[in-house]
Amino acid sequence: MIEISVNGKGRKFEGDGDVPLLWYLRDELELTGTKFGCGMGLCGACTVHLNGEAVRSCVTTLSSAAGKKITTIEGLSPTGTHPCQVAWEKLNVAQCGYCQCGQIMQAAALLAKTPRPTAAQIDEAMDGNLCRCGTYTRIHAAILEASKAAGGVK
């Protein structure tokens, strides 16, 4: 049996430990904010936090998540008040929106470690989170906005 914490709630899984975390979150727990993109960990649409680190849930197995804390977009702030969520809305970042949950989760992990990121740090952290609509400039601006709101960049 695999025991994990998802958005602060203890969960147990008795199936195949090689099942990707993504499918457990979406199919079993119905946490559909985490999106399937490429299935190879290359696009970032499925990004969640595993013990505070941004990971690609499509290539993270349940067995490798055993005993760890997982946070999805639904658990980042159930009321939508995380500085990244607020900044995304304020700056109207999303176009189609498909990748944005993964973008926000990656940005939130960056700001948790680096409250005052430089442009280069933002670019490095967000590299590999793809947006087919090309909203990269707005994503970058929203990360800076979230940093200010969280007491980062002055």
Determine the topology of domain 2-76 in CATH.
Ubiquitin-like (UB roll) (3.10.20)
Domains of the chain by residue range: 2-76, 83-149
Instruction: Report residue 112 as tokens.
Output: 């948790």
CB 71 within 8 A of CB 49: yes
| Predicted TM-score (pTM) of this structure | 0.94
**Whole-number pLDDT of residue 78:** 87
pLDDT in 10s for each residue of the chain, 154 residues: 999 999 999 999 999 999 999 999 999 999 999 999 999 999 999 999 999 999 999 999 999 999 999 999 999 998 999 999 999 999 999 999 999 999 999 999 999 999 999 999 999 999 999 999 999 999 999 999 999 986 654 4
CATH of 83-149 among 1.20.1440.230, 3.90.25.10, 3.10.20.30, 1.10.150.120: 1.10.150.120
Q: Are strands 53-56 and 69-71 parallel, antiparallel or unpaired?
A: unpaired
